[in-house]
Structure 1
Amino acid sequence: MRLVLASTSRFRRELLSRLALPFEAAAPLCDETPLPGESALDTALRLARIKATSLAERYPDALLIGSDQVALLGDEQLGKPGTLDDARAMLSAMSGKTVLFHTALALYNGETGRLQEAVDVTRVTMRTLTLSQIDAYLMREPDALFCAGAAKSEGLGGALIERIESTDPNALIGLPLFELITMLKNEGVEVL
């Protein structure tokens, strides 16, 4: 079956390419605003589902992959900062604390209408950071503006982190590959 990643994220494209399966990437139709009172887990799952199903008419014969990530610091959801000021504020708030990254995955089969969903929760304990360390990181890691909580774990972002607890290290980067492999198998697509 045709495989389509409902994402414009180069991070997710790079992760999916690790499976060595042919795929296309397409921009999903999705408003990423959390709903009032919605938990971080529910926000991530809803957005992953919308991303996957939003392309069903355009790709009726495909397996559509949607994924979304929401960081949770205490009771506050942290999305992608988009600006340096917001990134600085998020990283300052996370300094020395544990953040839960909810990475949701949805696989929608356009032919059968079957939807599979899962959420990986990764616990990330941040180092205690000074403002000058945060600024140095943001100057050298401009892609952080496009990551939940501005915390890009790969590359220089590793210097922000004291500890990571996860069942799938790929999830923190943006796509839970271990679960995706299982979902693809359920649809008859073998990776190996």
Structure 2
Amino acid sequence: MRTLILGSTSRYRRELLGRLGLPFEVAAPEVDETPRPGEPPAELARRLALAKAHDVAQRHPEAVVIGSDQVADLDGEPLGKPGDHGRATAQLRRMSGRTVIFQTAVAVVCRSSGLVQQDLAPVRVEFRRLSHEEIERYLQAERPYDCAGSAKSEGLGIALLDAIHSDDPTALVGLPLIRTCRMLRAAGLQVP
């Protein structure tokens, strides 16, 4: 069986992939994640997921490599990881009472076999109207500064939401496992 490599430094993706019970390694992709001028969030997520998988696969041509990326899409504008409290506060204020599409892309590449697969798992998230106090309490409690959209639905961030609409529930956390499993089976891996 080929080595499976997750081309990501995300602990969330690592935890999700671990659910499948497959042995895997982790390698950090070296990809410039700067959006191109006018690039829609869905295209940005797709491009970065594929670039990450290709970058790691170039260094490990016999391996099956997973690349993934998520971009929060607010009316066609990409929202990245906030990085700090001030930007997280601003993001949550902007998303309050609005619907945000979390564009989560996944790609699976194996250079030696020629396999290249890619898919997008959009997740529509409806945020409640949030008061300044609610935003502040949430950010102090969870500090989601490394998450696109400044909220962790798998934690306390679920309290900020009215609804989540998705056909691949783990996509919102950062790796759409239903789609990933499909691609891993196409790569010849046995899942489960």
TM range (shorter): over 0.9
Partner of 1:181: 181
Can you list the C-alpha shifts for 1:133-161, whole angstroms capped at 9, x where unaligned? 1111111112x111111121111011111
The residue type paired with residue 184 of structure 2 is L
The residue type paired with residue 8 of structure 1 is T
TM-score normalised by length of structure 2: 0.97
Q: Distance in 1 between matches of 2:55 and 2:187?
A: 19
Residues 64, 110 of structure 1: 8 Å contact kept: no
Matching of residue 38 in structure 1 with residue 61 in structure 2: no
Q: Distance in 1 between matches of 2:24 and 2:111?
A: 15
Q: CA deviation at 1:56?
A: 2.0
Aligned residues between the structures: 191
Residues 65, 110 of structure 2: 8 Å contact kept: yes
Q: CA deviation at 1:175?
A: 0.1
After TM superposition, list the pairs within 5 Å mapping 1:81-96 onto structure 2. 81-96=82-97
Can you list the C-alpha shifts for 1:47-90, whole angstroms capped at 9, x where unaligned? 00111011123211100100000011113210101111110000
Partner of 1:16: 17
Partner of 1:67: 68
The residue type paired with residue 2 of structure 1 is T
Q: Distance in 2 between matches of 1:19 and 1:177?
A: 9
The residue type paired with residue 59 of structure 1 is H
Residues 80, 147 of structure 1: 8 Å contact kept: yes
Partner of 1:156: 156
TM-score normalised by length of structure 1: 0.97
Question: Structure 1 vs Structure 2: percent identity of aligned residues?
Answer: 52
Partner of 2:48: 47
After TM superposition, list the pairs within 5 Å mapping 1:136-155 onto structure 2. 136-142=137-143, 144-155=144-155
Q: Which runs of 5+ in 2 are unaligned?
A: none
Q: Deviation above 2 Å: which 4+ runs of structure 1?
A: none
Residues 115, 187 of structure 2: 8 Å contact kept: no
Q: Distance in 2 between matches of 1:46 and 1:113?
A: 18
